[in-house]
Structure 1
Amino acid sequence: MDTTVVVPAYNEGGRIGQTVQRLVREYPVVVVDDGSSDRTGPEARAAGATVIRNPENDGYITALKRGFREASSDIVVTFDADGEHRPEDIERLVRPIKDDRVDVVLGARTTIPRPSERILNRLTQLKVPVTDSGTGLRALRRDLAVDLELETACTCGTFVLEAAAKDARIGEVPIETRSVQKPRGIAWQHGTQLYHVVRHLLPHC
């Protein structure tokens, strides 16, 4: 089973090139440039990625879903553009899928940084026993990936809950993350995401 790494990216110029360079040594990489105003797209292409550009900034989920459609492999891996994740963890994520033990594998971080994300995670755990439902490093079967609707504010909690609702087998492996110096805005979307997580938890809602 082959693997494609999907990297949604918005204004990651100066970082995306190094991220792609580390990945393309082992995997085909699809970067979805989500309407960046900097050199994200050209830098990713120069580093060896296939670049798909959205004309406008449509958001992480839209970019993610487009990346799933563009991939032609059996397995897709989602990977953050800023270089926070380690390419050497990917094989550990995809191995349980290749062995037909699970359909989705989450890269579980040692710490979840934002309090709002921790709340969403606790709620998700009421239905799915995972330790990190908001991680950006995931591996899953492509046929499942393209079937996910992901009509939510972000992927925290709901990515896992929707996969579970489709009877996907979900696993986790622990990962380490790299410290990345970049501005981090307040995750305002987590307020709206709380509604979506609760909606997925309640039956017939």
Structure 2
Amino acid sequence: MSSDENRNGCTTAAIIPAYNEAERIEKTVQSVDRHVDTTLVVDDASSDDTGPWARKAGAKVLTQPENKGYIAAIKRGFRAANTDIVVTIDADGEFPPDRIPPLVRPVCEGEADMVQGHRGTIVRPSEQFLTWLAGWGGPVGDSGTGFRALRTDLAQTLDLDGKCICGIFSLEVLGRGGKIQEVPVRLNEIDKPRGIAWYHGKQFFYVVQALVRTAFSLWKDDA
């Protein structure tokens, strides 16, 4: 339960997709829970004790019947949320929960429909390219971040068709007439291997499709 100021009366739920994060999830939930009203962990059919540890830390746990991936997990969290605002944050503790209030505040005050945590340097060249591509649809500096706050009613309308969120999340919000802001975040160092994101090759086609839909939607609004 949040210990922050009342955020002008807005209620907030954190959506934490998690897969085999038993070693980290308790600390993440405890850190996140200080800044939101509800913490929802979506356990993506983990083979370890991610779910029990999340419950012990105070989170409400939604368990996927089978491993369906990141996008399916956050969409389930969106559907379950009954707050004004939802925040997505990764289970591994890389994103700093104390940056949740700066993400939430502009959404609560009506200045933005979504606020993203900009990681600064984007390491993967493929992710850099997808962000550059998404930037043609609007002001997007980090389209692959897993740390964002947005209106719950907007989140529940998103299709998010793709192999990952890179590019498509921002473009869908823009295509629905949403206003996006970004705030800088400094990542925590974690000991976690990072493989090559081969799925970014397929993601290119999803981003192009989303870019075309966004451009058409904005063109219709201006016509």
TM over 0.5: yes
Instruction: Identify the residue that residue 91 of structure 2 maps to in structure 1.
Output: 81
**Structure 1 residue 151, shift from structure 2 partner:** 1.3
TM-score (norm 2): 0.89
Instruction: Identify the residue that residue 30 of structure 1 maps to in structure 2.
Output: 40
Does the 8 Å contact 2:35/2:101 carry over to 1? no
Deviations 1:126-146 (A, max 9, x none): 121121111100000000000
Instruction: Identify the residue that residue 203 of structure 2 maps to in structure 1.
Output: 193
Instruction: Identify the residue that residue 21 of structure 1 maps to in structure 2.
Output: 30
Instruction: Identify the residue that residue 95 of structure 1 maps to in structure 2.
Output: 105
Instruction: Identify the residue that residue 124 of structure 1 maps to in structure 2.
Output: 134
Distance 2:70 2:211 in 1: 23
Distance 1:132 1:179 in 2: 19
Deviations 1:78-124 (A, max 9, x none): 00000001111000001101111110001111111211100101111
SS at match of 1:172: strand
**Structure 1 residue 4, shift from structure 2 partner:** 0.4
Distance 1:116 1:109 in 2: 15
Runs of 5+ consecutive residues of structure 1 not aligned to the other structure: none
Does the 8 Å contact 2:25/2:92 carry over to 1? yes
Instruction: Identify the residue that residue 21 of structure 2 maps to in structure 1.
Output: 12
**Structure 1 residue 185, shift from structure 2 partner:** 2.3
**Structure 1 residue 156, shift from structure 2 partner:** 0.4
Instruction: Identify the residue that residue 112 of structure 1 maps to in structure 2.
Output: 122
* Greater fraction of residues in helix: 2
Is 2:125 the counterpart of 1:137? no
TM-score (norm 1): 0.97
Instruction: Identify the residue that residue 169 of structure 1 maps to in structure 2.
Output: 179
**Structure 1 residue 202, shift from structure 2 partner:** 2.6
Distance 2:196 2:51 in 1: 25
Is 2:192 the counterpart of 1:182? yes
Deviations 1:23-57 (A, max 9, x none): 12232210000010011111111111000000110
**Structure 1 residue 184, shift from structure 2 partner:** 1.9
Q: Percent identity?
A: 53
Does the 8 Å contact 2:35/2:100 carry over to 1? no
SS at match of 1:51: strand
SS at match of 1:126: helix
Runs of 5+ consecutive residues of structure 2 not aligned to the other structure: 1-9, 217-223
Aligned length: 204
Does the 8 Å contact 2:119/2:145 carry over to 1? yes
The equivalent position to 1:47 in structure 2, one of 57, 61, 69, is 57
SS at match of 2:149: strand
Distance 1:126 1:26 in 2: 33
